[in-house]
Amino acid sequence: MLCLSEILLQHHELQTFEDLLGVVEDKARGGELFFQMDVRPPFPDTPESWEDRLEAAFAAAGRR
């Protein structure tokens, strides 16, 4: 299971929410099947609908 906190710990280079979306998509394309959003992303541009956006990015990339 992929956890958001793990992504944030492993990718200190991330500066924006958009950067995070790209990593989440890459992980889904790499074969991850489950994604847990266990923390709120710490970026200033994190939208209110951050959970929906991350879930959509993970699901869409996983289908490709």
Q: Which two tokens stand for residue 16?
A: 């924006």
**Contact between 38 and 4 (Cβ < 8 Å):** yes
Please report how the helices 17-29 and 50-62 are oriented relative to each other, as an axis angle in degrees rounded to 10. 30
- Percent of the chain scored above 90 by pLDDT? 92
**Please, are residues 14 and 8 in contact by the beta-carbon 8 Å criterion?**
yes
How many degrees, rounded to 5, is the angle at CA 24 between CA 20 and CA 26?
A: 115
- 64 pLDDT above the threshold of 80: no
Query: What's the pLDDT band for 39 if we cut at 50, 70, 90?
Result: very high
Looking at residue 8, its pLDDT comes to 98
